């Protein structure tokens, strides 16, 4: 068959509604669509706001700080409004409402930035304290993948609390791709959180993590199984991931599964599979 014939035949097949069905997203004219590139830029701007001098324009100083904050917040407000609107449209809301509501929610998010910065400062400190190889706080902010993943998570979690659809998940998936750390935006995580190395960490959607918790690479906070409805489909929205209380440490490649509780101050060794509650203060070690 000639190339032009293959072209025409394949165009025809692929343009047939029977072929694309659920794999096609039919936009209403002019609706914005969530954009990976725009979200990546939003994260960049937010990092430049939260960690001035480490990200964004390097010449920021105490004299010109407010100019830089002003311009960055304005750009963030504009881009985030549009992405939130895109998320709302994606979920089927009316386009005019999306645009108006996108703007409202973006500026509600912006109001949270000072407190976001406060809690991230505790994560940076915990990471620095937890690694004998860390030279200074600056190295932690610039190089450590957990700070990148936790920053994206904390941004995404705020957006999820504001009711923004899909965008939060896209933001945490970008960190997942960059760091190998997969934190669902729905998880609840306290202050002074730190993850060492991080590749392979999974934190499920209904996990609850207290303050001063430390995880190592490969740790899973997962679901054990999920109840099915009468049609055999998983029931959505049930609490199915663990509760990790304050001051817990979980070593590499261990899995904590199901709605169980790891009590305050417990230490879980590496390569361990846990599906039941662990009392506070317990040390669970690898069997030999």
From 94, 97, 114, 283, residue interacting with its own copies (rule: CB under 8 A): 114
From 42, 45, 60, 209, residue interacting with its own copies (rule: CB under 8 A): 60
Q: Does 246 bind its own copies (CB under 8 A)?
A: no
DSSP one-letter string for 229-246: -TTSPBPTT---S-EE-T
* Total of chain residues touching its own copies, rule CB under 8 A: 122
From 40, 64, 94, 97, residue interacting with its own copies (rule: CB under 8 A): 64
What distance in Å separates the CA atoms of residue 160 and residue 105, rounded to the nearest whole number? 11
Q: Does 283 bind its own copies (CB under 8 A)?
A: no
From 43, 85, 98, 124, residue interacting with its own copies (rule: CB under 8 A): 124
Q: Does 83 bind its own copies (CB under 8 A)?
A: no
From 165, 210, 242, 258, residue interacting with its own copies (rule: CB under 8 A): 165
Tokens 């662990």: give the residue: 278
Smallest distance, its own copies to C-beta of residue 180, A: 5
- What is the number of H-type helices and E-type strands within the chain? 9, 14
Is the separation of the CB atoms in 258 and 275 below 8 Å?
yes
CA distances from 140 to 132, 271, 281 (A): 12, 26, 29
Smallest distance, its own copies to C-beta of residue 28, A: 9
Smallest distance, its own copies to C-beta of residue 283, A: 12
> Cα 193 to chain center, whole Å?
14
Map the footprint of its own copies across residues 28-47, applying CB under 8 A.
29, 31, 33-34
From 102, 130, 210, 258, residue interacting with its own copies (rule: CB under 8 A): 130
Number of CB atoms found within 10 A of residue 98's CB? 23
Q: Which of 187, 176, 275 is nearest to 225 (CA)?
A: 275
């Amino acid at each position: 068959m000639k190339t032009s014939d293959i072209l025409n035949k394949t165009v025809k097949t692929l343009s047939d509604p029977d072929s694309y069905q659920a794999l096609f997203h039919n936009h209403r004219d002019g609706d914005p669509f969530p954009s990976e590139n725009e979200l990546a830029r939003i994260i960049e701007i937010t990092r430049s706001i939260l960690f001035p001098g480490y990200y964004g324009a390097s010449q920021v100083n105490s004299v010109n700080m407010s100019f830089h904050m002003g311009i960055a917040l304005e750009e963030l407000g504009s881009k985030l409004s549009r992405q939130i609107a895109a998320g709302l449209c994606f979920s089927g809301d009316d386009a005019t409402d999306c645009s108006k509501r996108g703007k409202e929610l973006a500026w509600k998010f912006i109001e949270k930035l000072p407190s976001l910065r406060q809690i991230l400062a505790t994560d940076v400190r915990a990471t620095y304290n937890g690694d004998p190889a860390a030279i200074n706080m600056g190295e932690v902010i610039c190089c450590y993948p957990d700070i990148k993943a936790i920053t994206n998570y904390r941004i995404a979690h705020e957006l999820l609390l504001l009711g923004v659809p899909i965008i939060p998940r896209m933001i945490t998936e970008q960190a997942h791709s960059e760091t190998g750390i997969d934190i669902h935006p729905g998880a609840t995580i306290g202050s002074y959180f730190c993850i060492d190395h991080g590749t392979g960490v999974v934190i499920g959607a209904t996990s609850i993590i207290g303050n001063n918790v430390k995880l190592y690479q490969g740790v899973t906070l997962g679901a054990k199984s999920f109840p099915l409805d009468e049609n055999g489909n998983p029931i959505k929205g049930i609490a199915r991931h663990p509760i990790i209380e304050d001051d817990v440490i979980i070593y590499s490649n261990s899995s904590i599964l199901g709605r169980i509780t790891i009590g305050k101050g417990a230490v879980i060794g590496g390569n361990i599979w846990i599906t039941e509650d662990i009392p506070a203060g317990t040390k669970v070690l690898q069997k030999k």
